[in-house]
Amino acid sequence: MTTRTRAHTRSAAAVALSAATVLGVVGLTPGAATAAPAAAPSTADSTSSDLTSDFNGDGLPDLAITAPTATVNGLKQAGAVTVVYGSAGGYDTTHRQIITQATDGVPGDPTAERRWGHLGGNGDLNGDGHDDLLIRYGSHWTVLWGGADGLSGAGQLPAGEGGEGTAASPWLFNYQADVGDIDGDGTADVAAPAQADGAWGLAVYYGPFDRTGTPARIGFRDTVTKDAGYAPGTVRVGDMTGDGVADIVTSGSTRDFASAGHLYVGSAAGLTDAGTIKATGTGAFGDLDHDGYQDFVGGNGDAGTAAAPGGAVYVTYGGPKGLSTTRAARTITQATAGVPGVDEKDDRFGDSVDLGDANGDGYADLVIGTPFETGSDAEGTFRAGAVTVLRGGPQGVTTTGAQVLTQNTKGVPSTSEVLDHFGAAVRVAAGELLVGGNGEDGWKGRVWRLPATAGGVTGTGSTSFNLAALSGPSGAAHFGEDFSR
């Protein structure tokens, strides 16, 4: 499996944000944000969407898995995060951690119905060579620090309260944050949609961070004023220019509530608006056509339009200036020729997406989760869920050789059942496709591991595990709702 190129400072790869305009950083005016000269594509492996998390610094991928409704100390829906650490043979479920707000060093106390544990980005925020993990509840972002023994201790990003923030302590509203070297200085930063001094925009917390979660400095961009009424809502990071510096895909809305998305190219001089892009709440980066520039896919499971009643995925190709001038963007639905299944209302095709080389040919492949799928592929079982794999190639993503996988696929454990939501989360890493089904077993949730082979993803040899198998909390935990990157 390929090495990912996302939020790790120690590999000069960039992690971008999606959903806000990080154009203005501290000491940089919009007029000073000029485009960097076009550079040759980075030699870093760009096949996959981003670097896999490595919390213990052993060079092997680790995986954080959410269980947002886990019961903690008798408190229902308090929330938990499970970390499964990597080994030479892949993810090792015997080497794991269960982290909650009852864990020593984690800020706050478990609270019923808090649903703690939603994931932000991950990367080396304090420069110690280990990835750290951002965890959200409400407008609060906690940093779990990586180390040789895994995640331990925690800091908390300084932030305003109750919808009020300042430039020195922005209010980080309840959407997303991401991690990456936004200004190319070799240290990881955090960016999130925010409000400060009555203005709406994007906060950038510049590293390195100390162990309390305090950054070296904080910048704020008033995007509504400076970017034609644009307000960010989500953030995603990847290197579409191939120069090793983070570029930012954002999605949000304009003053008249029209959906909008922008690509901002990162450089030492700041950010440059490289144009509009179709982007939504989910997204991933990877090199579908193996040209050295990462491409972006955005999933919109609730598109709900006449053209895409069951959801859509938007593919935008990268190039030396950010957006490819030689390969057109495209929209893929279940009605697209060659895509398995039927485009039906509320399938939520694109609710989760990932890019990674699932067959070892050097091209990133596109994996799409359809967790509400009820079609023939899931034998008509109500919202049992499905996963579609579309191959990358010299011309980019193709529907030739497309695969669809469900729990009824030969070799996959369990069977498709009502409200399993197989495909709620997807991840290509460590030689396998991981699939989360947060509705499995009465909302207890489960994660499946499907081998990625030269012939594609296969059910043969597949395994699965749930939270109970990891000695975690019992009950309806929604385990597998999301994965770390």
The pLDDT score that the predictor gives to residue 306 is 82
Greater confidence (422 vs 168) lies with 422
| Predicted local confidence at residue 192, as pLDDT | 87
Contact 386, 422 (CB under 8 A): yes
- Output the CA torsion sign for 167, 124, 62, 243: positive
What is the pLDDT confidence band of residue 375, given thresholds at 50, 70 and 90?
Answer: low
Give CA separation, 391 vs 15, 379, 404, 438, 457, in Å: 24, 24, 12, 26, 11
pLDDT in tens, 184-202: 998 888 888 889 999 998 8
Q: What angle do CA 299, 405, 422 make, to 5 degrees?
A: 65
- When pLDDT is averaged across residues 207-231 and rounded to a whole number, the result is 90
Please write the tens of the pLDDT for every residue from 451-462: 999 999 999 999
pTM of the full predicted structure?
Answer: 0.89
Q: Please, which pLDDT band fits residue 2 given cuts at 50, 70 and 90?
A: very low
- Domains defined along the chain, listed by start: 280-485 (2.130.10.130)
Mean pLDDT computed over 63-78: 97
What stretch of H or E contains 94?
strand 90-99
Asked if pLDDT for residue 35 goes beyond 70, the answer is no
Can you point out the beta strands (E) in 277-377? Answer: 282-286, 295-300, 312-316, 318-319, 322-323, 330-332, 352-356, 365-370
Handedness of CA 60, 64, 354, 125 (dihedral sign): negative
Average pLDDT of the chain, as a whole number: 87
In the predicted structure, residue 99 carries a pLDDT above the cut 70: yes
The average pLDDT across 140-149 equals: 96
Give the per-residue pLDDT at 12.
27
pLDDT at 16 (0 to 100): 29
What's residue 358's pLDDT?
A: 97
Beta strands in 365-467 (DSSP E): 365-370, 386-391, 398-405, 422-429, 432-437, 446-453, 456-457, 463-465
Rounded Cα–Cα distance for residues 128 and 414 (Å): 42
Q: What is the pLDDT of residue 95?
A: 98
pLDDT-based confidence at 376, cuts 50/70/90?
low
**Cα–Cα distance list, 62 to 195, 237, 356, 450 (Å):** 33, 20, 16, 17
C-alpha 232/C-alpha 164 separation (Å) is 17
Statement: residue 25 has pLDDT above 70:
no
Contact 390, 332 (CB under 8 A): yes
Confidence of residue 41 (pLDDT cuts 50, 70, 90): low
Mean pLDDT of the 252-269 span: 87
**Burial (Cβ within 10 Å: 0-12, 13-18, ≥19) of residue 190:** buried
Query: Tokens 């229902």 — which residue?
Result: 76
Give residue 269's region: left, alpha or beta (phi > 0; psi -120 to 50). alpha
What CA–CA distance (Å, rounded) separates 295 from 48?
A: 10
Give the separation between CA 207 and CA 218, rounded to whole angstroms.
Answer: 9
Which of the given ranges, 69-83, 136-150, 152-166, has the highest pLDDT on average? 69-83
| Percent share of the chain, pLDDT over 70 | 88
Residue 337 pLDDT more than 90? yes
Q: Answer for the pair 248, 266: CB distance below 8 angstroms, yes or no.
A: yes
The residue among 191 and 294 whose pLDDT is bigger is 294
The per-residue pLDDT for 426 is 98
Distance CA 131, CA 266 (A): 22
Percentage of the chain modeled with pLDDT above 90 = 65
d(CA 482, CA 79): 13
Mean pLDDT, rounded, for 267-277: 83
pLDDT for 203 beyond 90: no
Is pLDDT at 466 greater than 90 in this prediction? yes
Give bridge partners of residue 452 from the DSSP assignment: 457
Residue 184: closest CA among 292, 329, 25, 47: 25
pLDDT at 244: 87
Which pLDDT does position 14 carry in this prediction? 29
How far is Cα of residue 215 from the mean position of the Cα atoms in its chain? 22
Q: Which residue has the higher pLDDT, 279 or 273?
A: 279
Q: Mean pLDDT lowest for which of 38-47, 253-262, 288-297, 428-437?
A: 38-47
Of 81-90, 137-146, 387-396, 415-424, least confident by mean pLDDT is 137-146
390 in Cβ contact with 359 (< 8 Å): no
Task: Identify the weakest region by mean pLDDT among 247-251, 366-370, 439-443, 476-480.
Answer: 247-251
